[in-house]
Amino acid sequence: MNNVKILGVGGSPRKNGNTDILLDTFLKGAESEGAETKKLHLRDYSIESCIGCEACRKAGTCTQFHDGMNLLYPEIEASNGLILGSPTYNYNITAPMKSFIDRLYPFYNFAEERPGPYSSKLGDQGRKALVFTVCEQVKAEEMGFTLEALGMPLEALGYEVLEKFLSTGCFRKGEVLKDEDILEKAFESGKKMALALR
């Protein structure tokens, strides 16, 4: 299992909140199946928003900013599993997670000028992902677009998104700890991800 490396990326600005707790639980599940894991919180990094200069189309990397993403690009490349988690803010992902996802643009290959075809530097490598959100809303349809905003960009980059995990009715800090069923499901999802990457 030494070749199974899973990177967990948390997009919550709130330290030790429900997103952090669930991310830890997914990773513990993966570790129980022998996976090597690493956890990163975007709040600990300074990540500029993409400005659409598209210099990375030619350079192959972001040349506009020298910030926290320069530390995260190698971590992403070195991991064949990726877990992204964000609380739902106003029907969508948090601003730090949006910046992170937008700054994944250098992983695309462009053979022609737009709107030509593209491929992914991360594609066809058996990479797998899991995305999750925590929201205050009880009904999933009131949660908005968070899971799509997390999952669709990864699918475009060549990841197989194994699961889009949702924890509803959870707002107060640490409230998810009271839901043993969700914690058990998150642990099992982490295990399944590690097994799928074998």
Residue-wise pLDDT tens digits, 39-60 = 999 999 999 999 999 999 888 8
Q: Give domain limits for the chain.
A: 5-196
CA distance 123 to 120: 5
Kindly tell me if the per-residue pLDDT of 12 is higher than 50: yes
pLDDT digits (tens, 9 = 90+) for 92-124: 999 999 999 999 999 999 887 777 788 999 999
pLDDT digits (tens, 9 = 90+) for 120-170: 999 999 999 999 999 998 888 888 999 999 999 999 999 999 999 999 988
CA distance 154 to 159: 5
Per-residue H/E/C for 72-97 = HHHHHHHCCEEEEEEECECCECCHHH
CA distance 78 to 179: 33
Structure tokens at 192: 């399944």
Long-range contacts of 68-77 (CB under 8 A, 24+ apart): 68/42, 68/44, 69/45, 69/100, 69/103, 71/45, 72/9, 72/40, 72/45, 72/47, 72/100, 73/106, 75/7, 75/38, 75/40, 76/7, 76/104, 76/107, 76/122, 77/122
Please name the fold of domain 5-196. Answer: Rossmann fold (3.40.50)
Those residues with Cβ within 8 angstroms of residue 155's Cβ, 6 or more apart along the chain or in another chain? 161
3-state secondary structure of 138: coil
Those residues with Cβ within 8 angstroms of residue 90's Cβ, 6 or more apart along the chain or in another chain? 144
CA distance readout (Å), 145 to 66, 82, 124, 130, 159: 30, 20, 27, 16, 19
